[in-house]
Amino acid sequence: MLFTQDATYYAQQIRAGIVSSELLVQRSLENIETFNPILNAVTIVEKERAIKRALEMDQAFEAMAKEDQLALPLFYGVPILLKDLGQNQAGVLSTSGARLTQNDVPSQTDLFVSKIEAAGFVVVGRTNTPEFGFKNISDSELHGVVSSPLDLKRNPGGSSGGAAAALKAGLVPIVTASDGGGSIRIPASFTGLIGLKPSRGRIPVGPNGYRGWQGASVNFALTKSVRDTFNLLKALQVEQLEAPFSLPMIQTETLSIPKRPLKIAFTLTSPIQTKVSIEAESAVKQAVKYLEDLGHHLVEAKPEVDGVKAMESYYQMNGVETAAMMKRIEQALGRQVGKDDMELMSWALYRSGLSITGVDFTEALSYWDYLTVMSEHFFESQQIDLLLMPATNNIAPLQEEFSLTQAVKKNLSNIDDFKPAEQQEMIWEMFEKSLAYTPFTQQQNLTGQPAISLPIYETENKMPLGVQLSARKGQEITLLEIAFELEKANALHSEIVSISPHS
């Protein structure tokens, strides 16, 4: 039986003694067995481990006094899927969607995953992702393409595409995800889910790395309700002083609608000056009308920053971080890696990263600081509470819609033959088509500001296209209050979809 309600609902059912954790875990495992052959959303199933943990939790629950049951973590006994990219569990295979790491079994559990378990969740498996999370679609050569439950001919997005497909289909009530350039918000937009990227420093990092693409990447989740998003954020947040980025804890105990009318800026332009689709414009205009009807003040405005330069700095970071990762992989394997070990996109980023100088890398990160200053100034100087724009430039793409031409593949394959500046031009060309499809999400990763994709708009064919709201650093509660108000006004559409096991 598919999960039609949110994770908070099933947590309440467990706490009330109506269902057991074992029952919910068995149900999720049956869902995966039935529907995963259609979706290819789940790469690893932790059947024995999950059932054992659920049984232990049920036995402990039954032996507790009522007051102790009430003091349990909010999501006690609820099944969850982790993303198969980072989010390591000690002793559990973690492939990152890559041939190079297809046999990697971490010896340590990441602090993020420890927090997930401390919140009461039972991990039942791991979800499909593109190789090393580099794409905005999920189609790794190792595990294959993920299909959207809304339309099996389409991809649910990346790099948290497997997570989005599993949640939208109701295989589990909640999934974890991560976002280094939109990888929570893009799949949320394509599948009609709620996708919050928290502020930099909000969610725990380490012990296997503390900077996550120099602070651009953050772990969190995809959800079906605003209350799940709020409850999970409260459960996972930390003030992690040993980490390079840290924020004060959110003190809000109960989520409510905004206590005053908000001033919300909106834009219908692309940060990289590419054409914005009619559907994306329609999504924003519909959101504007909803928000105005709720009493908020909408103005057309946006920060004046160079979006192209921002993306150029982002690709430089990707290259350097990929080169550093390949060095660690080589040390673990005891050999050099080659072109045949990885997908062409990974190879190109790796080799381009070796050509980026320390000076260029420092300048790229300094530009992120400049972007942060300019974006924070935009909110403060104009007394803007939130910034509204499309989450993606269209509905979920067809499979192979972003396939590279043979000419581009040839150049990327021979990237070592080109000068550093030419290599960066090739990296831009490699991403150009897919970036035009999803140009709205990356800047919040560079600035560290929170942003959320909300399922407000659907096309005539009932395909979702999300809108994105962003805020000043640390202001997730403002985002969630407006999302909660929209949800109460029945403006959000995050229901699961029915698919046939014979599709």
Task: Name the H helices within 119-277.
Answer: 161-168, 185-191, 226-236
Which residue is catalytic, options 20, 28, 83, 277?
A: 83
Helices (H) then strands (E): counts for the chain: 16, 13
Amino acid code (one letter) for 379: F
User: Could you tell me how many residues make up the chain?
Assistant: 503
Q: How far is CA 365 from CA 188, 286, 468, in A?
A: 28, 36, 24
How big, in percent rounded to 5, are the helix, strand and coil portions of the chain? 45, 15, 45
Q: How far is CA 212 from CA 147, 169, 215, 246, 444, in A?
A: 28, 29, 5, 14, 14
> What is the Cα–Cα distance from 224 to 54, expressed in whole angstroms?
23
- Comparing CA positions, the residue from 100, 87, 84, 89 lying closest to residue 327 is 100
> What is the Cα–Cα distance from 66 to 49, expressed in whole angstroms?
27
> What is the Cα–Cα distance from 455 to 191, expressed in whole angstroms?
8
Read off φ and ψ for residue 386, nearest 5 degrees. -140, 155
Contacts of 457 (CB under 8 A, 6+ apart): 279, 282, 283, 286, 287, 464, 465, 466, 467
Q: For residue 366, how many other CB atoms are within 10 A of its CB?
A: 11
One-character DSSP codes across 450-464: -EEEEEEEE-TT--E
**83 a catalytic residue:** yes
Which residue is catalytic, options 183, 225, 352, 355?
A: 183
Helix (H) / strand (E) element for 218: namely: strand 218-223
Q: Which residues of 192-219 are buried (b: 16+ CB within 10 A; e: fewer)?
A: bbbbbbbbbbbbbbeeeeeebbbbbbbb
**159 a catalytic residue:** yes
Mapping DSSP to helix (H, G, I), strand (E, B) and coil, where does residue 148 land?
A: strand
Encoding tokens for residue 438? 């999803």
Encoding tokens for residue 77? 């006994």
Q: In the beta sheet, which residues pair with residue 221?
A: 176, 196
Which residue is catalytic, options 96, 140, 159, 434?
A: 159
Encoding tokens for residue 42? 């789940």
User: Known catalytic residues?
Assistant: 83, 159, 183
